[in-house]
Structure 1
């Protein structure tokens, strides 16, 4: 991995440098690139080119495996007729640029259709019914990603990193015990409303980086947690449960799985919590985790 990229982390400036280099390789115009999201990856839209560009955090071996898996899953989902967004295979893929990996995806123009929780529930039901693909998928394990984030943490208080490290250590054994008791199947791994797009009247499930084999209850956690953390009306959650046919909050091990998911959400935010709204939100989440306050409102960023 490029040492400078590792030290700097994924910032808008460093991601943009990788974008420009990769677009030059692919002969794409990038002068009107629009940054859609900066988190585990940087996501840019190039509407004029009909392309979305994903800039990964690094080009390290484990990141390369994850990105290659994401491409393979997208192609497989499309071969199954599942409503997915595919890679732009007419362009070079897995481009190395500025110590990062860059991939190119189909651009979905904005739509007047607003995907809802019922759409998410139905897409998850269809996804969970698919057979496993003809290539190996990893077992669900969010801890390596969280440990990497903590090891590379910068610009946040050391005591916060230490607290999160201890919390991860405490939760890991309980997580593995719960996972071992649940039947395993195909899961999206990061199933929330933000990973839905509309193409006309059709709703698409996007972002296949976390696709794995594990307890399908994991895919319901973001919606269940949103009731307490993000003020999702209970009636909306109940409708989601009716659409899918299951309520994860009533399942064995829910509290342990929820704890791990919230640690993942907080370490994700930590990567960009050096200043501004992200720093304020990170401080709020840390306070609620320290106090074990399960109902403290968080804010989506």
Structure 2
């Protein structure tokens, strides 16, 4: 029997229910679970079990492919000695729970040293020299995910959903034209400082859900955008560029790729923008996109 995708919004309550069910099946204690992040997935730490648990939005076919790829990429990176975090393969995974897929990962305790952007640049430079693995990876295409988010949007204004839909439609062809003009290689797909963890003197690159084959400039965009959107000091950005060896803002197609990346960041936030700080920030981002204001500051949530 084909599992039905769970299209209910991924809320704290629904994600926690899936966590509890999956942990019960796996024989794990989840009574002290700490919610680390609620976005495309819900991420929980279970320090007493030495685990991080990722709860996906559904258990449908598309999600299943993403989860299988993420597990495969993590195992492949570990086999090559790349500084990555591996899945807990002593546990059966992924598990289906409450219409969602759940995976289990090694827990990395908090580090005294916070990884910086030069760490990210050096890890990306190393990551981008890796060959493609011996299993298929998808070509970079953020639009199916954005269209899915828009299709299942709830608790936000219809005119905002309509605006984002029209903006995505305008950008999709331009995006594919730009990608076709760039050499492609292995990319992380969601490369920002939030996807770094410190372990002693080592810095680890985590979260392999968006790993793909595409223009490697895509991985440099979040840091470049942060100068205008998140008040990243120019000196820090310059140090990032020196460490990596490139300033993506001077590359052909940067503006088009930046537009797509910002649409992705906004549709990501839209999923949890029904109230509170996320709703306020969603309003800020929508106003800036409508006005074409590239320097309006956003806030990371």
Q: TM-score, normalised by structure 1?
A: 0.99
Unaligned runs of 5+ in 2: none
Q: Displaced runs of 4+ in structure 1, greater than 2 A?
A: none
The aligned counterpart of 1:141 is 141
Counterpart secondary structure, 2:128: helix
User: Residue 113 of structure 1: CA displacement?
Assistant: 1.2
Q: How does 1:209-248 map to 2 (within 5 A)?
A: 209-248=209-248
User: Residue 283 of structure 1: CA displacement?
Assistant: 0.5
The aligned counterpart of 2:203 is 203
The aligned counterpart of 1:105 is 105
The aligned counterpart of 2:42 is 42
The aligned counterpart of 2:18 is 18
Q: Deviations over 1:203-248 (max 9, x none)?
A: 0000000000000000000000000000000110000000010000
The aligned counterpart of 1:27 is 27
Counterpart secondary structure, 1:132: coil
**Quick one: distance in 2 between partners of 1:26 and 1:122?**
37
**Quick one: distance in 1 between partners of 2:199 and 2:239?**
23
The aligned counterpart of 2:123 is 123
Matched, 1:87 2:87: yes
Q: TM-score, normalised by structure 2?
A: 0.99
User: Residue 2 of structure 1: CA displacement?
Assistant: 3.9
Unaligned runs of 5+ in 1: none
**Quick one: distance in 2 between partners of 1:200 and 1:30?**
26
Q: Deviations over 1:15-71 (max 9, x none)?
A: 000000000111110000000000000000000000000000001100100010000
User: Residue 161 of structure 1: CA displacement?
Assistant: 0.2
User: Residue 9 of structure 1: CA displacement?
Assistant: 1.0
**Quick one: distance in 1 between partners of 2:114 and 2:143?**
33
**Quick one: distance in 1 between partners of 2:206 and 2:26?**
23
The aligned counterpart of 2:292 is 292
User: Residue 92 of structure 1: CA displacement?
Assistant: 1.2
The aligned counterpart of 1:64 is 64
Q: RMSD across aligned C-alpha pairs, in angstroms?
A: 0.7
**Quick one: distance in 2 between partners of 1:113 and 1:106?**
19
Q: How does 1:1-16 map to 2 (within 5 A)?
A: 2=4, 5-6=6-7, 8-16=8-16
Counterpart secondary structure, 2:204: strand
**Quick one: distance in 1 between partners of 2:25 and 2:199?**
29
**Quick one: distance in 2 between partners of 1:205 and 1:229?**
23
